[in-house]
C-alpha cells in the first residue's frame, strides 16, 4: 500500500472500520433471509392453491365446459390412497366397477332394489316387497321393522357390497340407471358410480357442477355438489 501511495499521491489512505463492515454484512444477511422467507411463503401459497384445484378436479368455467390443472388426476389418486374418506382415484375406477358389475348389480337387479342404505347406523330398504327402516327416528321417517324376508334380502345385498371391495354408502335408482354412492367425508361433493344400461353417452348436466367421466362399458363416475 505504501508503494502505491508513493506512486499515486493524493489517494486517500484506506481506513478499515470493523464495526461498519460487520453492520453492513448483517444488513445484507437480514435482507437475504427476508427475501428467502417471502419466496418460501409465495411458493407455499402457490402449492396450496394448486393442490386445492387438483383435488377438486375439473371445475365449471365461466364460458361453459370445465377446466382442470395439469397432473390433477395423479394428485387425486394419491389423495384417495392415503387420505381416508376421499374419493377413489381414476386408477381405481375400473377395478371398482368390475367388482360392482360382478357382485352387486346382479343382486340389485334381481331383487329390484329402489333404494338401500348400505352403511352407518341406519338400515333402509325399499323394493317391491315393501319399505323397511330401522335405526331410530334420526334415520328419517318412522321406523318400519324388517320382516324375515327383507332382512335376508338386505343381508344378501350388503354381502355382495363387501365382496365387491367398494365402500358403498347407498344404492338407488335414478337418472335412468343404478347409482352407487360412495362413502366419503366431504361436505362439498358426492361421488358415485352410475350404471346407465340404455346410454352410450353421459346424461345432460342438470347442474353446471356435475362432472361425468366414462369408466368402462355402461359405467360412469359422477361427481356432484352435496346439497
Taking residues 34-51, report their average pLDDT.
70
Sign of CA dihedral 170, 171, 174, 179: positive
The secondary structure of 70-134 as a DSSP string is TTHHHHHHHHHHHSTTSPPPHHHHHHHHHHIIIIIHHHHHHHT-SEEE-SSS-EEEEETTEEEEE
Question: Cα-Cα-Cα-Cα dihedral of 98, 220, 215, 209, to 10°?
Answer: -140
Confidence of residue 16 (pLDDT cuts 50, 70, 90): low
Determine the pLDDT at residue 54: 57
Task: Name which of 165, 36, 48, 159 is nearest 108 in CA terms.
Answer: 159
Confidence of residue 227 (pLDDT cuts 50, 70, 90): low
The secondary structure of 142-175 as a DSSP string is S-B---HHHHHHHHHHHHHHHHHT--EEEEEEET
CB 184 within 8 A of CB 190: yes
Joined grid coordinates for residue 154? 338386505
Taking residues 55-80, report their average pLDDT.
50
Q: Which long-range contacts (CB under 8 A, 24 or more apart) does 48-51 make?
A: 51/75
Digit-coded pLDDT (tens) for 127-155: 999 999 987 666 766 788 999 999 999 99
Confidence of residue 36 (pLDDT cuts 50, 70, 90): confident
Is the model's pLDDT at 65 over the cut of 50?
no
Q: Of all helices (H) and strands (E), which one includes residue 23?
A: helix 18-56
Determine the pLDDT at residue 60: 46
Q: pTM of the full predicted structure?
A: 0.63
* Residue 54 to residue 49: CA distance in whole angstroms: 9
Amino acid at each position: 500500500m505504501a508503494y502505491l501511495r508513493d506512486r499515486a499521491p493524493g489517494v486517500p489512505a484506506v481506513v478499515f472500520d470493523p464495526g461498519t463492515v460487520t453492520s453492513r454484512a448483517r444488513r445484507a444477511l437480514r435482507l437475504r433471509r427476508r427475501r428467502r422467507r417471502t419466496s418460501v411463503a409465495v411458493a407455499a401459497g402457490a402449492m396450496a392453491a394448486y393442490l386445492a384445484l387438483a383435488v377438486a378436479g375439473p371445475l365449471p368455467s365461466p364460458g361453459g365446459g370445465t377446466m382442470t390443472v395439469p397432473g390433477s388426476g395423479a394428485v387425486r389418486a394419491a389423495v384417495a390412497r392415503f387420505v381416508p374418506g376421499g374419493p377413489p382415484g381414476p386408477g381405481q375406477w375400473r377395478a371398482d366397477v368390475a367388482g360392482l358389475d360382478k357382485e352387486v348389480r346382479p343382486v340389485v337387479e334381481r331383487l329390484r332394489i329402489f333404494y338401500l342404505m348400505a352403511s352407518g347406523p341406519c338400515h333402509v330398504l325399499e323394493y317391491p316387497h315393501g319399505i323397511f327402516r330401522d335405526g331410530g327416528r334420526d334415520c328419517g321417517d318412522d321406523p318400519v321393522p324388517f320382516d324375515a324376508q327383507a332382512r335376508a334380502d338386505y343381508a344378501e345385498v350388503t354381502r355382495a357390497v363387501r365382496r365387491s371391495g367398494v365402500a358403498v354408502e347407498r344404492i338407488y335408482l335414478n337418472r335412468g340407471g343404478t347409482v352407487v354412492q360412495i362413502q366419503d367425508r366431504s361436505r362439498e361433493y358426492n361421488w358415485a358410480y352410475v350404471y346407465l344400461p340404455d346410454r352410450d353417452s353421459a346424461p345432460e348436466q342438470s347442474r353446471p357442477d356435475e362432472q361425468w367421466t366414462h369408466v368402462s362399458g355402461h359405467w360412469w363416475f359422477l361427481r356432484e355438489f352435496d346439497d
